[in-house]
Amino acid sequence: MGSFIELAAADGHRFAAWQAAPQGKARGAVVIAPEIFGINSHIRAVTDGYAADGYLAIAPALFDRVQRNHETGYAPADIQAGVAIMQRIDFDDTLKDVAAAIAHAAGAGRVAIVGYCWGGTIAWLAAARLSGLAAAVPYYGGGMPNYIDETPKCPVLCHFGERDKSPSPAQARALLARHPEVAAHFYDAGHGFNCDQRDSYDAESSRLARSRTLAFLAQHVG
């Protein structure tokens, strides 16, 4: 359904993004912040799925600043490669790219960000530091506890796994205790439960989290 486009950040960096448009008038827009595996077939499918639900959906290639066209599966070597790239990226630069995606998507209406894994942390930071977001939905953002003092400027819905280690349920609940305005759900699942290409995939948790996400988007985006 979707295709790659090119976007430009405020500092001139040009990067790829997978964009999928809905049939008919968009209800709004969703920026997808990816895992550390790039804009791979799973993230493209997730993006296409939000377009099928009526949103202009766009997944920026946030690793392009360090390594262009990064796209892997979920084997141990893929995880090591993704972590190595992630450690070379500055969140301030990443948020410039997210801001460009938000600005691009705003032509479709109100904009939300949905992030998975590393992208969950990006979604949390974007909610706190960027303007132009109507909502944010972090899925199991492993780095979120490191930014417990950040205050979201838009409504946030979090999805966490009770069997996750990054973040652990205790870390997630500590963050939520600091931010009582943030909505959250916990699932009997581990890290990455939304991804049907990972061993940790949990179909029922994924379905339930998605239904809750769509209801949240309908409320805050359109």
Catalytic residues: 117, 164, 191
First to last CA, the chain: 21
Q: State how far the alpha carbon of 136 is from the alpha carbons of 8, 73, 132, in Å.
A: 22, 26, 11
Question: Is-contact 191 172, C-beta < 8 A?
Answer: no
- Helices 118-129 and 91-105: angle between axes, nearest 10 degrees: 70
Q: What is the token pair recorded at 56? A: 């202009």
Question: Is-contact 56 29, C-beta < 8 A?
Answer: yes
* Residue bearing tokens 């942390």: 121
Q: What is the token pair recorded at 221? A: 């985006």
Question: Is-contact 113 98, C-beta < 8 A?
Answer: yes
> Side chain identity at 213, as an amino acid letter?
T
Q: What is the token pair recorded at 151? A: 């205050």
